[in-house]
Structure 1
Amino acid sequence: MTTLHLEHTGHDTHHHGPGCGHCAVRHGDHLDYAHDGHLHREHEGHWDECEPAGHAVHEGHEHVHHDECGHAQVRHGDHVDYLHDGHRHAEHGDHWDDH
């Protein structure tokens, strides 16, 4: 699965980093920051929307996430992603997607 390269314009007044107040999520070789229902990553002097460019089912994900499951939750658009084992999972129909 690839990630779309969509620059998040108008994001120059706030700089994400330790202590910025937004949830940081490890994503491959960088950190995404959850902010206003979006995930942002720093990229060559600007901020990108960090969104998957496809549908990737998380196979073998038998754990059901919910409010009391113990995993961190990140509001992401119209749903909640759960941080689990270095991945972001989102419920999608009868399965979980791996972001």
Structure 2
Amino acid sequence: MTTLHHEHPVHDHIHGPACGHPEVPHGDHVDYAHDGHMHRRHSDHYDECEPSGHVAHQDHEHRHGDGCGHESVLHGDHVDYVHDGHRHAAHDGHWDDH
């Protein structure tokens, strides 16, 4: 899945293991959940990490929710669940793969 390269205009905070924001493994890098959106370090700035389309996660029978065992991360107007290096979000009776 491709993400948009959208630079966060001003971001003085340095994300890292002890920064206080949830780490979300994402492919070959780590995103950080910050104020309802995802940031990724890129060169000398941070990018907003958003999916570039709707991708349903096929054959995902696990139901995410309180106590499911996966970390929940606020993302815009909904909650994503970190599962196997990507994020799942409930959408129209299935899970989207972020």
SS of equivalent to 1:32? strand
**Aligned-pair distance for 1:82?**
0.3
Residue 29 of structure 1: how far off its partner (Å): 1.2
Q: Deviations over 1:5-34 (max 9, x none)?
A: 00001102x100010000011111111000
Query: Residue 39 of structure 1 aligns to a residue in which SS?
Result: strand
Aligned residues: 98
> What is the correspondence of 1:34-49 to structure 2 with a 5 Å cutoff?
34-49=33-48
What letter is aligned with 2:3?
A: T
What runs of 5+ residues in structure 1 fail to find an aligned partner?
Answer: none
- Name structure 2 gaps, 5 residues minimum: none
Give, in whole Å, the separation in 1 of the partners of 2:72 and 2:58.
20
Are the equivalent residues in 1 in contact too, given 2:27–2:86 (CA < 8 A)? no
Tell me the equivalent position of 1:81: 80
- For 1:45 and 1:30, how far apart are their aligned partners in 2? 15
* TM-score normalized by the length of structure 1: 0.95
Answer yes or no: is 1:7 the counterpart of 2:15.
no
RMSD: 0.7
Using the TM superposition, give the Cα deviation of residue 87 of structure 1 relative to its aligned residue in structure 2, in angstroms: 1.6
- Give the match's secondary structure for 2:55: coil
| Corresponding residue for residue 28 of structure 1 | 27
Q: Helix, strand or coil for the counterpart of 2:58?
A: coil
Amino acid at match of 1:59: Q
TM-score by length of 2: 0.96
CA–CA distance in structure 2, aligned partners of residues 7 and 85 of structure 1: 26
4+ aligned runs moved over 2 Å, structure 1: none
Distance 1:65 1:77 in 2: 17
